Structure 1
Amino acid sequence: MSVLGYHERRKVFRAGIISFGDAAISCTVRSLSSTGALLEIRGPAAVPKKFTLVIAADEFRRACRVIWMTEKRLGVVFELI
């Protein structure tokens, strides 16, 4: 539900894949909303600014753009295709 432009974010703990080109990086999806997600990776990695997030268990696949990043966490917004 959106209130003043904010979208409800729910905490989750799902295995995900950051997929780009022929490469992939495992991640944990920590929170999810209709517009984006918080992802956690094991350590510093070369994550591109745009990639596809895949959560196989949920048959979830979204094009993403990184909006912020720390050593082990990144916030992404989902892009329209």
Structure 2
Amino acid sequence: MVETRIAPRHRVMKPAKIEYGGVKIACTVRDISITGAALEVTDQFGIPAQFTLSMPEDGLKLPCHIVWRREFRMGVAFD
């Protein structure tokens, strides 16, 4: 399989939060690069197309938008 992503992704298992409009939803960052990440969530209901990904362990708050969705996973690109 040929890698077609702009930047290589690195596998991680980091706790994070999806933040929007005062709402915070726990998630797990499964892989990450300088351009985006794959997130695992227990439920995608109500998660908007654009939000801030907060990674307190790394001191990061990254605005992003969803580029794909699966049942318990979503891919985001950083804005």
Both proteins in one fold, TM over 0.5: yes
- How has the CA–CA distance of structure 1 residues 74 and 4 changed in structure 2, closer, same or farther, with 3 Å as cutoff? closer
- For the residues of structure 1 that align with 2:66 and 2:44, how far apart are their CA atoms? 15
Q: What residue is the counterpart of 2:67 in the other structure? A: 67
- How has the CA–CA distance of structure 1 residues 5 and 25 changed in structure 2, closer, same or farther, with 3 Å as cutoff? closer
The runs of at least 4 consecutive aligned structure 1 residues that moved more than 2 Å come to 3-6
- For the residues of structure 2 that align with 1:69 and 1:4, how far apart are their CA atoms? 18
Question: What RMSD over aligned residues (CA atoms) do the two structures have, in Å?
Answer: 1.6
Q: What residue is the counterpart of 1:22 in the other structure? A: 22
- For the residues of structure 2 that align with 1:4 and 1:27, how far apart are their CA atoms? 26
- State the number of aligned residues: 77
Query: How far apart are residue 22 of structure 1 and its match?
Result: 1.1
Query: How far apart are residue 43 of structure 1 and its match?
Result: 2.5
- How has the CA–CA distance of structure 1 residues 70 and 4 changed in structure 2, closer, same or farther, with 3 Å as cutoff? closer
Q: Which amino acid aligns with 1:50?
A: Q
SS in 1 for 2:47: coil
Query: How far apart are residue 5 of structure 1 and its match?
Result: 6.0
Identical amino acids, percent of aligned pairs = 35
Q: What residue is the counterpart of 2:78 in the other structure? A: 78
Q: Which amino acid aligns with 1:41?
A: V
- For the residues of structure 2 that align with 1:78 and 1:49, how far apart are their CA atoms? 12
Structure 1 unpaired stretches of 5+: none
Q: What residue is the counterpart of 1:8 in the other structure? A: 8
